[in-house]
Chain A
Amino acid sequence: MRSRAAFALVTLLGLALALPGALSAASKKKKPAAAKEAPVNFDRFLPVFGTRLAELPPGGMKGLADGACLTCHSADIVVQQHLTEKQWAATVTKMAGWGAAVPDDKKSELVAYLVKNFGPENTGWHPVATRPMGR
C-alpha cells in the first residue's frame, strides 16, 4: 500500500515535470491506431478505493445525513437510489437500528429530504469509471 502511494506520487511528480514535452511530442506525431487503443480516461492518481465520491445535495437535512450515513459508507449508494417514501422510511429505520445517528424527531424530515432528492424519478445516475483495482 505504501509503495503504491509512493509510486503514485512519483508518477504525479513526473507528469507535472514532463507535461509540456509530452504534449508537444503528441502533437508532432499522429498515431490513430495507438489513439484507438488508448486507456480510458479515469483519474489514475486517486487511491484505488478513493475515486471521486458523490456528495449529498444541499438542504436542511444535509448535515444530519452526512453525519448519519457517511460514517459507514460513501454517498454514492444514496444518490443512486430511486425509492418511494415507504422504501426510504424502511431504509432509514433499518439504518437507525444499525447505529446511524438519526434522532426520532428528525426521521420524517430526513425521509422527506431523501424522497425529494432520490425519489422514483431520480433515474439519471451513472457510475464513475474507475481504474482496474481487484488486486
Chain B
Amino acid sequence: MVLQNVPTATASGMDLRLAVFPTLTEALDYAAQGQTGFNYYNGRGDLTTVLPYSELRERARALGRRLQGLGRGARVALVAHTHPDFMVMFYACQYAALVPVPLPAAIHLGGHEAYVRHLRQMVSDCKAAAAFATSDFIDLLREAATGLPVQITGTLADFDQLPDHAQLPEPPRADELAYLQYTSGSTRFPRGTMITQASVMHNLEAIFNHGFRLTQEDRFFSWLPYYHDMGLVGIVLGCMATQRSVDFLGSREFAMRPRLWLKLMSQNRATISFSPPFGYALAARRITPKDTESLDLSAWRVAGVGAEMIHPEWLEAFATALKPAGFKPSAFLPSYGMAECALAVSFATVGAGMQIDSVDGDLLSDTAEAKPYVEGAPTRRKDFVSCGPPLPGFEVEVRAEDGQLLPERRVGRIHLRSPSVMNGYYNAPEPTAEVLSADRWLNTGDLGYFANGVLYLTGRAKDLLIINGRNIWPQDLESLAELQPEVRPTDASAFSVSGSDGTEVAVLVVQVRENDPREQAELADRLHEAISQEFGIRCLIELVPPHTLPRTSSGKLSRRGTRKDFLDRHDEERIREAAYLRFLVSDGGRRPVAA
C-alpha cells in the first residue's frame, strides 16, 4: 500500500533528550510522547508505512503481554528484515524482558540451503524459545527451526494469537541483556555478543552527545540492515533513544537502486545518514549528471562512515559526483567501532570531513612506526583516515604483541575498556576469554596507532576478511573447501589481498592431488558455487600441490604465511587478471625471476 499526503514529522515537539535513559523501554516511553517515528519506503521510493514511536510503544506493550509467557530473559530469534513488524517484535521483547536476537535477512542466488543452515546455527546457538520472521522469510525460518526446541515459530500474526496476560512483567533492569548480536562470529561458529541495557545506553549516550551534536532539526535516513550493529544499534535503537525520525529503505532495495538513497534524502531534507564505504562507492558509480540536477543534498550534514577500512578515494568520488547537488565533503564523519562494545569507539570531528595522516610507508612496513611523510622524500607515502579520539568513557591502548603499551605513532593491537563493552559471547567461554581479559579489557584484533590523541586504523591482526562491509571468517571459506571429497582437512587456507581499486579480494588456496585439468576445473566450479551460495562473493581460487601450505612450528596452518607465499608466487598484474579467471593452478613454487 502506498501512502500519500501522510505527514512524517522531523521535530518531536518535546525537549530533545539524548539517550540519557537507564534502559531502552524508558527511552521508548519518552519518545512515544512526541511526534517522531519510523517511516518505511518501498523499492519505488513510495512511503508505505508510518510507525510513530507512540504507536510502536502501544503495539509493543500489547504484544509484550502475550510474549512474557516465554519466561524472563528467554531469547527470541528475529529475522531482521527491514520491516515495521520487526520493530514491533523487537520492542515487544524489551517490554516483556526477553532478549531479542536479530538474525541476518540476506540470501544469495541459489543460497537456500546455505541460508537455512546459517539460521539454524544461530537459532540453536542462542537456544531461542521463539523465532519470528516476516512472510518473506517465514518458510525459510520454519525449515531452519525444524527439530529445534523452539516453542513458537511464526509471523507477527502467529504471535498475536498467544494468550494475553493482564499486565507486563517488571521492565528490564539496567544489568539485564538488551539483545544478542551475531555480527562477530563465523557462519559455523556463531558468536552472539551479549550487550546489557546499561552497555548499550552508555554507548548511545556517548555517540549522540559526543559523536555528533544532534538538534531538533535532525532527521535520519537509513538503508543499513537491522542485523548489522550500525543499523541495529545506531539507527533502530539510537534514533529512538534520541526521538529522531528515520526514513528506511530496505538493504536489498538500496543494493538494487542506490540512487533512491539520495532521492529520498533530498526529498525529506534528511540531515544524517551512515554507510560503509562501499555504499558511497556504489551510489557514486550509479549517479548520472542528470540525477544530480534534481537532487538537493545541502541539508545532509553528517555522512557517517564505518564498518570497514576507509578508502579516501571512494569517498572523494562520491563527493565529486554529488557536489552539483550541494553535498559537502565536510559532512563525512569517519568512525570506528564493533559489535563487542555495542557500536562505536570513536568518531572524527563533526563538520571537518576526512582528516588524512600521511606517513612514511616504507618505515611503517619495516618498523611499524607511523612517521609523518615528508613531501618529496624518496619513500612510499601511505595515507590513513582519522577515526577521531575515543568517546568519553573509553580507555584505549595500543599494545605490542608482548602486551607492552606503545607510544604515539607506533602501530600495535588496539585494546579497550569501557562500560559499553559486552559481557561476553553467549554460551562461549573460550572465545570470550580469547578477546576479553579478567579485568575487562577487550582485544579488538584491529591494528592502529595514535597521533595527537587521535586514532588511526591500519589493518587487522585477526584473520578476518571484510568484503563490502561484511565480516567473513577464513575458517568458513576453508571449511567449504574441506567439504569437497578430494580435499582433506587442513588442505585449504583463506585470506584476502588488495584488489586494484582498494577492495579486499578473497583468496582460497587449496592443496589437491588431482592433476587432470578437467577434474581441477570441476572442483573449482563446485567451490565457486558453494562460496557464492553462502557469501555471494567472488573468490580467487588457487589449486596447489600437497605440502605447499606453510605451517607454524606447532603444525597449524599459517594463513599469514600462505598469503605471503601467494603474493610471492604471483605479481599484482597476475592477481588482477586472475580475479576474472575461474581459478589458478600453481606448482606452489616462487614465481620465476624475470631474466
The answer to whether A and B interact is: no
Task: Give me the interface of B with A, judged by CB distance under 8 Å.
Answer: none
Task: Give me the interface of A with B, judged by CB distance under 8 Å.
Answer: none
